[in-house]
Homo-oligomer: A and B are copies of this chain.
């Protein structure tokens, strides 16, 4: 098989990239951006060799334990559970939380064959029951899969006597009822808080 076909085939490991896109990418890399392509090959190789999961929070890191988990300034009694490192970054950007995290690196998704075992929820259980954590805040997405994950994780941790909470769902800040989807408005009504 010609090397060009090998390259097109190899590019298809990228999520959401079919044969046509892979072909366009191969042409682009070989024709228009050989320097960027070389950088990509090198960075990918280096990343595969050096990036691992944090022993404590499971996020991507180059050290055994990431900077955040080794920071004594963070409040170790709170543990926030998120799906992906990008969700962790969003939480951090709010600057409203100074506890620690646990990154699931996915969500329960039966259609993709991802259940509690594949998500290695026993690792989260071990992490949350370290006798220091007092509250677990579940911040998975409000999609069907994120909700199912939240439900499963919540039950699992409550059974061990941990205090568990879920971030609030409702009308977005600055949102007008008229432009908010009905399901969200209904939930916001049902989960109204006393003043």
Q: What residues of chain A have their CB less than 8 Å away from a CB belonging to chain B? A: 2-4, 6-7, 9-11, 13-16, 21, 23-31, 33-34, 36-48, 50-51, 60-62, 84-86, 105-106
Contacts and interface: CB of A to CB of B under 8 A. Distances in A.
A37 B33 CA distance: 20
Contacts of A46: 3, 6
Given A25-B15, A47-B3, A62-B3, A40 B10 contact: yes
**What is the count of identical protomers in the complex?**
2
B48 A6 contact: no
8 contacts: A6-B43, A6-B46, A10-B40, A13-B33, A14-B25, A30-B47, A31-B105, A40-B44
A44 B39 CA distance: 10
Q: Find the residue from A25, A28, A40 having the highest chain B CB count within 10 A.
A: A40
Contacts of A25: 14-15
A50 B7 CA distance: 12
